[in-house]
Amino acid sequence: MKKTLLFILLISPFISKSQQSNISNRTNSIYQRSFNNSTAYSYSIGYKILSFEEFPRILDQTDNNVLRRSVLNGIILKYNNKQISYRLSGSFYSNRITFQNGCDECEEIEGRLKDNHIKVGFEKNFTYGTIQPYFGIDLGIKRNIFKGDVKSTFQTLDSSGEYDVKTEKNGLSLSPLLGIKLNIIDHFSITAESTIDVFYSYERQERTNNASPGSRTLQKYYKWEYLLKPLGMLSLQYNFGAIY
């Protein structure tokens, strides 16, 4: 499913190729005719209001496909040259989570998940006007850290099976996206977009046994992950620097 959505997002620029060509050849005239009730601006700054997204899998997490909500946790900057909007965005996530590890009856893990993501890319409108659907792509760097306590859910086991865990993933992401922008009033717009992060990371997993403080294990992995973001970003943007 994720790979199918990724394929659709990747080919969307080619589907609209003929339309983009016409737009490129007549950019000024399109802007003149289409923005009768909205002005084109060179710069935008926006705040990420809401998102629902998947995060990288932690250890052998059983519910790694869960969508987590985040509110007011990001910013986006844009520069528009009349044809393409170049974008720089950053987001952060920090929250305590609980999940089952290995199987639903094996281990319960509780701790804090922190995720930081910085991306740079571009977006291109399909059409121009009050409502503007668009496509784009971002390239980013991502850091994901989890620290928590692991406890066995079996009643027969004692505390000797408990241990602390820390996982850290650092890597690169490629994120094709589709979105829609609504120019509500002068200078302000609302955007909503969905995306899939193709994430390649280097991961460290560190475990420390509570019964033996000196007992520590360290494992390292390289991983590919596909992270679905049906609502990657709902943002409110302020636009300034009128082009005309």
Structure confidence by residue, pLDDT tens digits, 117-169: 999 999 999 988 889 999 999 999 999 999 999 987 665 444 556 889 999 99
Q: What is the mean pLDDT of residues 8-23?
A: 50
113: CB partners within 8 A, 6+ apart? 55, 58, 93, 94, 95, 96, 97, 144, 145, 146
Q: What is the mean pLDDT of residues 54-60?
A: 96
Q: Which domain holds residue 100?
A: 2-242
Distance from C-alpha of 151 to C-alpha of 165, rounded to nearest angstrom: 11
- Give pLDDT tens digits for 31-52: 444 444 457 899 999 999 999 9
Q: Which two tokens stand for residue 51?
A: 């998102």
The residue behind tokens 């998947």 is: 54
Of 2-11, 18-27, 119-128, 231-240, the poorest mean pLDDT is in 18-27
Q: What angle do CA 117, 122, 128 make, to 5 degrees?
A: 130
Local confidence band at 102 (pLDDT 50, 70, 90 cut-offs): confident
DSSP element (H, E) containing 3? helix 2-15
- Identity of residue 108: E
- Give pLDDT tens digits for 173-206: 999 999 999 998 889 999 999 999 999 999 999 9
Residue 233 contacts residue 9 (beta carbons within 8 Å): no
Least Cα distance to 76 among 190, 226, 169 occurs for: 190
Q: How does DSSP classify residue 7?
A: H
Least Cα distance to 69 among 100, 93, 89, 99 occurs for: 93
Least Cα distance to 152 among 106, 110, 111, 101 occurs for: 106
What does the buried/exposed string (b/e) look like for 24-46 if buried means 16 or more CB atoms within 10 Å of the residue's CB? eeeeeebbeebbeebebbeebeb
- Give pLDDT tens digits for 60-90: 999 888 999 999 999 999 999 988 999 999 9
Pairing, β 163-185 against β 188-209: antiparallel
**42 or 1, which is more confident?**
42
Terminal Cα distance for the chain, rounded:
44
Q: Which residues pair with 79 in a beta bridge?
A: 43, 86
Q: How does DSSP classify residue 61?
A: B
Query: For residue 120, how many C-alpha atoms fall within 13 Å in the half-sphere facing its CB?
Result: 2
Q: Which two tokens stand for residue 164?
A: 């602390």
Local confidence band at 106 (pLDDT 50, 70, 90 cut-offs): confident
Task: Return the CATH number at 223.
Answer: 2.40.160.20
Query: How many domains does one find in the chain?
Result: 1
Local confidence band at 10 (pLDDT 50, 70, 90 cut-offs): low
